[in-house]
Copies of this chain bind each other. A is one copy, B any other.
C-alpha cells in the first residue's frame, strides 16, 4: 500500500483524472493541479520521495519475473500535443528507475513496412515482456488522432479502429499488463510559450519543427479527436487519464502516482529463493 499511503495528495488523484462517463475534455483546466495544493518546490521533494517508491516497486517486479513464472507488466501510453511534456515525463519520472527494467518505444511516422500491416502490428511487437515497464511515446492512438484530423485513412477505417483498439487492449490486459493511458493536456497559450522558447534558444532549435505550427492551427480538431478517443476507448481494463500539464511539475507528480498505483495493484513481492540458502552458503564458503 505504498502509493495509497502517499501523504501529499488531498484526494484520490487517479479518480480525479480518470476519464469516466460524461467526461468533457473542454471542461478540464490545463493549469489546474487536482488533488495537490502545494507548490513547485514541494512538488520536487514529493517527486523525489515517489521515485524511491517507484524504484523499489520496479525492482520487485523485475526480480520476480527473473525467478518465477509471472505475466505481470506495466504499459504507460503517453499522448499529447507537441511540447506538452512527454519527454520530461520519460526523463524525470521513468528515468528515475533502473533502465534495465524499462522498455521504451518512441513511435514515429509509420515506415512503408509498417504501413503494409494493420496499424496494431508495430504496437504488438513493442509490448513489454513480463517484469518490464513499457513506455509508449505516442502510440496506436496516433492512428485515430492525426489519422482522423489529417484524414490519413478512410472514415470507415478510422471508425473500425476504436473497436480494434479496445479488443487489442483487452487481450493485452488479460495477459497481465496493467495499461495506463495518459493524455498530457496543455493549453494553446502554454504551447505557444514553449514553442517560442524553442525558437529563442539555439540548444532547443532541434526540438522545433515548422510542422508543429501547422498542427497547432488544427487545435480544435485535435481536441475533438481526443474527445472521441476518450469516449470510445476509456475502458475498465485500460482507462484514460487526462493530466493537466501546463505545470510540468504537477504532470510529473501525477503520472508518477499513476505508475505507482499500477504497480501497487500488481503488488510484486521479492521472489523466494529457488535454492537451499544454507547449502549455498556452505558451497560458497568452500569455493
Question: Which residues of A pack against B, CB within 8 Å?
Answer: 63-64, 66-67, 87, 90-91, 94-95, 98-100, 102, 104, 106, 137, 192, 195-196, 199, 202-203, 205-208, 210, 213, 216-217, 270-273, 275, 277, 280-281, 283-285, 287
Contacts and interface: CB of A to CB of B under 8 A. Distances in A.
A195 B90 contact: no
A277 B95 contact: no
17 contacts: A63-B206, A66-B206, A67-B206, A91-B98, A94-B99, A100-B106, A192-B285, A199-B284, A202-B270, A205-B270, A208-B275, A210-B275, A210-B280, A213-B280, A213-B283, A213-B284, A217-B287
A196 B284 contact: yes
Contacts of A285: 192, 196
B281 A210 contact: no
A202 B274 CA distance: 11
Contacts of A195: 284
A203 B98 contact: no
A280 B66 contact: no
Contacts of A94: 99
Contacts of A281: 196, 199
A280 B208 contact: yes
B206 A271 contact: yes
Contacts of A287: 192, 213, 216-217
A74 to B, nearest CB: 15
Nearest to A212: B284
A206 B280 CA distance: 14
A63 B87 CA distance: 13
Nearest to A217: B287
Contact of A208 (B106, B202, B206, B273): B273
Nearest to A279: B210
A271 B203 CA distance: 8
Given A90-B99, A95-B99, A99-B90, A205 B273 contact: yes
A262 B234 CA distance: 46
